[in-house]
Amino acid sequence: MSADQIDPQAKRAAARKSRIPLPHGGYKLKLLRLLTDPLTRLQNRNPPSVGATESVSVPGPEGDLDARLYLPSGDPPYPTVVFFHGGGFVLGSVETHDRLCRHLTRESGCAVLSVEYRLAPEHPFPAAVEDAYAAVEWAAESTDRLRGTGDVAVAGDSAGGNLAAVTALMAAERDGPDIEHQALLYPGIGVDPEQESVREHAGIVLSREDIEWFSAAYYRSDIHRRNPYADPINAGDLSGVAPATVVTAGFDPLRDGGKAYAEKLVADGVATRYETYPAMVHGFMTMREVDRALDAVASVGADLADALDG
């Protein structure tokens, strides 16, 4: 299924994002990081309500990681979803994905633990992976702190979708925490500059230069880029990983990489639901002005609720 035109709401939201070009390093990157959280808080006034939110410090390999716990309405215990934000491994925070995590909490009935991780280029691969996996291990061990049932899933969008997939792979290969489900939202996995989606849609939210710079800042070398824990499309066998939901957007340069990963999961026998939103753009599930975003979050939330039920 494809669409001839971008959804009008998504097109307007993408145009607004393009007014602030993504900086490729230097002081402009630092400035954008400083401004992003207060601007996001301003934009996110009157956010969707949840039962409660709490600030949490998660022990990481190089120091504590800031996190925010979203608790649903109703009495505990709750299943736990560990969420990793997007931003090309370079940008993003708990604050930038607050609305998405609130909606995910409401739709899934799960507690959502949104975890920050060290960012490139200051902290290239494998820093983010080490932080993400440490957070999943901690969540699995901290049932009382999280008012949890002991059931754990992982989720993330864009670069965070990559981290969610990698933590699911690591847990399977290392006999780590039991992960019940992985929700990968337009994940940064298996991206190739020759893919049709990159050729046709680079410049919509993400330019080819953005993609190349994010990759260079995070991977630093082709050797790292080929590591399955950097890009799980390179994994030889995915058969032991958690069942998956993979979401892509029709006008997203990352679409074909996400689709290829979903196909690889299916080929390796992993129960996978793949859903594409033909008229959407990269990052649409964080765009408050896009009605279709709420439908997508509700669908993912239902998958998580089903996977973590009882």
Residues identified as active-site:
158, 252, 282
What's the gap between Cα 144 and its chain centre? 25
How far from 69 is each of 27, 54, 116, 167, CA to CA, in Å?
Answer: 31, 5, 12, 19
On the question of a cis peptide bond just before residue 228, with omega within 30 degrees of 0, the verdict is: no
Contact 169, 232 (CB under 8 A): yes
> Cβ–Cβ contacts within 10 Å for residue 49, how many?
10
CA 40/CA 96 separation, integer angstroms:
6
Comparing C-alpha atoms, which of 112, 10, 131, 126 is closest to residue 63?
131
Contact 258, 190 (CB under 8 A): yes
Cα 214–Cα 17–Cα 292 angle in degrees, nearest 5: 105
Give the list of residues 6+ apart from residue 148 with CB closer than 8 angstroms, or none: 76, 77, 78, 79, 80, 111, 139, 142
Give the list of residues 6+ apart from residue 204 with CB closer than 8 angstroms, or none: 6, 14, 251, 252, 253, 281, 282
Q: Name the token pair of 118.
A: 């060290």
Contact 300, 107 (CB under 8 A): yes
Q: Name the token pair of 5.
A: 């035109």
The span from the first CA to the last CA of the chain, in angstroms, equals 35
Contact 56, 181 (CB under 8 A): no
CA 232/CA 217 separation, integer angstroms:
18
